[in-house]
Structure 1
């Protein structure tokens, strides 16, 4: 990484860290995740699942507009139904979904490998989706903070090294996911830096 890029990344991290305020403990992050049963989802059939051991953390976006006021619970129910009936997948392809308010919802059971429409195999990946199309809009601060919180919790729980925090487009040439406006936080090292800070503070 060039000196210029290093300073730019550090400045970006300091800017958002100062805006974020005190971060919750990682145990509190895990406890705050909205369970599948709480949003009205149904569990996947374990007989159809590919069991995995988490060793990567991979960021995605929804890839569609998610306007203010849209109900995230109904979105999750629709996504689960579509994933199973149309795609014939085990479940929602992602393990966690983050809404506009930074609330984290459980999706597919983390012990089961996710799914993707592209060529990479997500076996071993903890998949995080942030709602919205970040080719068109910017992520808000609540979403960025939630991504950091969740990535830090997962990194601590599953012993995932920082260099295995990446995004969908880092593994696939067939996508721009998670969108240019969210991907820059991956590309410039923002998430890895913030996660390192969170882990060091525990």
Structure 2
């Protein structure tokens, strides 16, 4: 019983970050993913100016966005609403930006001080040739202190960190795993913290839905860069990620602390499905993805003796709609498949040749065997 309650009681100081549901800025009449129609105008002109968001429900001094920017010839700016009717709106300073060749981007902005003021999105034309649609998958309102994974920074070593081999899923795992080296993962920013898994959690990335293996590899690289450099975390948040073709990618080593559920990371293995499984996106949860998730789930369950009551959806552990309504509706099915009794595989015993005795009885036995085999 204690083991079953631990996921709900633990709140380790080293594991308070989360990933998977970021919709802090609410814009009237719009739902995520936000699609901004950007018109090609003269270079340097503001081509999109949205309305201010609704009043945020918490203090912030950092705004973090991520989405899809098809062309690089535009600039994304944020304004904070003036604190009074007579006060001017405040331009937030961009403190980080990265756009990948496939258009995936993240951007981080700093407000002058802690605030709860609404936010407006502006887009400036930097030489667009055609009209574009800028997609924003997620927005987060944070404080400067949130941009790290630990309460206090670890001491920085000048020696290259090489994780111990026993932190990783072994080569004999019963599913194909695309290792970190294959998708060209960056090393962690500091040494990993070990943990002993005893439960696991289903997520969705709430973002890009890869169409090819190469696209999924770039998405892995983007997510890691966003988590490490956008959010300031040690590494990619999840332990496994699965694309629509059923490819399973290795995130953090399974035996180290992840960063995917707020205050619920110790002992928790994070498995995230690439795509957005919440209205209005409704990405398709393919049979290949389901089969791969079940294989990974069974491995975690069998290797670490995880009870069925210790397999969660993210929303069951925190205030979030992750893994989306569409995936959450499949939780009963997935629990049943992961925990279904597995029949033992039949063992083939090679047939042994019949040794016939010497003498006159041999011919009679040959005729009898022929008769039995041809009936």
Shorter-normalised TM range: 0.7 to 0.9
| Displacement over 3 Å in runs of 4+ | 198-202
Q: Does 1:193 align with 2:339?
A: no
Summarize the Cα distance change of 1:71–1:56 in structure 2 as closer, same or farther, 3 Å threshold: same
- Could you tell me how far apart the structure 2 residues matched to 1:45 and 1:65 are? 25
- State the match for 1:54 in structure 2: 197
Contact 1:96 1:106 in 2 (8 A): yes
Q: For 1:29-55, what per-residue CA distance to the aligned partner results, in whole angstroms no more than 9, with x for missing partners? A: 1xx1011011111332553x3321100
Question: Larger RCO: Structure 1 or Structure 2 (Cα < 8 Å, ≥ 6 residues apart)?
Answer: 1
- Could you tell me how far apart the structure 2 residues matched to 1:122 and 1:39 are? 24
- Could you tell me how far apart the structure 2 residues matched to 1:109 and 1:71 are? 22
Residue among 274, 297, 302 paired with 1:156: 302
Displacement, 1:198? 5.6
- State the match for 1:5 in structure 2: none
Question: Which structure is higher in strand share?
Answer: 2
SS in 2 for 1:28: coil
Contact 2:210 2:219 in 1 (8 A): no
What pairs up with 1:174-193 in 2 under 5 angstroms? 175-186=320-331, 189-193=332-336
- Could you tell me how far apart the structure 2 residues matched to 1:165 and 1:195 are? 10
**Count of aligned pairs between the two proteins:** 170
- Could you tell me how far apart the structure 1 residues matched to 2:270 and 2:226 are? 18
Summarize the Cα distance change of 1:199–1:123 in structure 2 as closer, same or farther, 3 Å threshold: farther
Displacement, 1:90? 1.0
- State the match for 1:133 in structure 2: 276
Contact 1:58 1:165 in 2 (8 A): yes
Question: Which structure is higher in helix share?
Answer: 1
Output the TM-score relative to the length of structure 1: 0.77
Q: For 1:76-111, what per-residue CA distance to the aligned partner results, in whole angstroms no more than 9, with x for missing partners? A: 111111211111111000000001100100001112
- State the match for 1:124 in structure 2: 267
Summarize the Cα distance change of 1:181–1:100 in structure 2 as closer, same or farther, 3 Å threshold: same
Displacement, 1:67? 4.7
- Could you tell me how far apart the structure 1 residues matched to 2:186 and 2:270 are? 19
Contact 2:210 2:216 in 1 (8 A): no
- State the match for 1:64 in structure 2: 207
Give 5+ residue unaligned stretches, structure 1.
Answer: 1-25
Displacement, 1:197? 2.0
Structure 1 vs Structure 2 CA RMSD: 2.0
- Could you tell me how far apart the structure 1 residues matched to 2:263 and 2:206 are? 18
Output the TM-score relative to the length of structure 2: 0.43
- State the match for 2:75 in structure 1: none
Give 5+ residue unaligned stretches, structure 2.
Answer: 1-171, 346-375
